[in-house]
Amino acid sequence: MSRSRWRRHWGGPATVVLDAVGTSLTIADGLTASGLGARVVMVGMGAREITLPAFEISTYERRIIGSFTYSSQEFRDTAGWVPSRPAGLDHLIDDRVDLDGASEAFAPLAAGDLGVGKILVYSHIGEAPDAAQ
């Protein structure tokens, strides 16, 4: 997605980006969406290794910050639990929205309503925010 589209949508560049996916593509999107001196926090680990666009980090004086909150045992416990769920895990995702719906979807969280656990925001043109994805 282009830098100008992000800025038109959000009214300016982000100062903090939380990447909950952790792939080269999502980090690149976070850098595109952010501005001078922004922080990009990596909380997702979708890939063991990623490619970072160094020019986008250095010239805009951005900071990449890593964050990890789960223990190895919690990952093992979760991996053991997932296959036992016959109905699947779709209920763990509360909403799927495109960029136009993101502000409305996150408004309850911003107001302190923590009843929503996970909202997937599709930022790429052509991606549909439906359950099939």
Give the model confidence (pLDDT) of 80-116 as tens digits.
Answer: 877 776 666 667 777 888 888 888 888 887 777 767 7
- Per-residue pLDDT, averaged over 43-53, amounts to 89
Residue 12 sits in the same domain as residue 64: yes
Q: Which 8-state DSSP code applies to residue 78?
A: H
Out of 1-5, 26-30, 85-89, 90-94, give the one with best mean pLDDT.
26-30
Residue 19 sits in the same domain as residue 51: yes
- Which tops the pLDDT comparison, 51 or 115? 51
Give the integer Cα–Cα distance in Å for 36 and 34. 7
Q: According to the model, what pLDDT value does residue 65 have?
A: 94
Return the exposure string of 44-68: e unless at least 16 CB atoms fall within 10 Å of the residue's CB, then b.
Answer: ebeeeebeeeeebbeeeebeeeeee
Q: According to the model, what pLDDT value does residue 124 have?
A: 62
Q: Is residue 75 part of a domain?
A: no
- Which tops the pLDDT comparison, 15 or 2? 15
CATH code of the domain in which 6 resides? 3.40.50.720
Q: For residue 38, name the pLDDT band (cuts at 50, 70, 90).
A: very high
Residue 6 sits in the same domain as residue 61: yes
Give the integer Cα–Cα distance in Å for 130 and 73. 32
Residue 57 sits in the same domain as residue 101: no
Residue 41 sits in the same domain as residue 97: no
**Position 109, amino acid:** L
The boundaries of the domain holding residue 65 are 1-69
The mean pLDDT value of the chain amounts to 80
Q: According to the model, what pLDDT value does residue 72 have?
A: 78
Q: According to the model, what pLDDT value does residue 37 have?
A: 96
Residue 16 sits in the same domain as residue 49: yes
Residue 102 sits in the same domain as residue 44: no
Residue 62 sits in the same domain as residue 35: yes
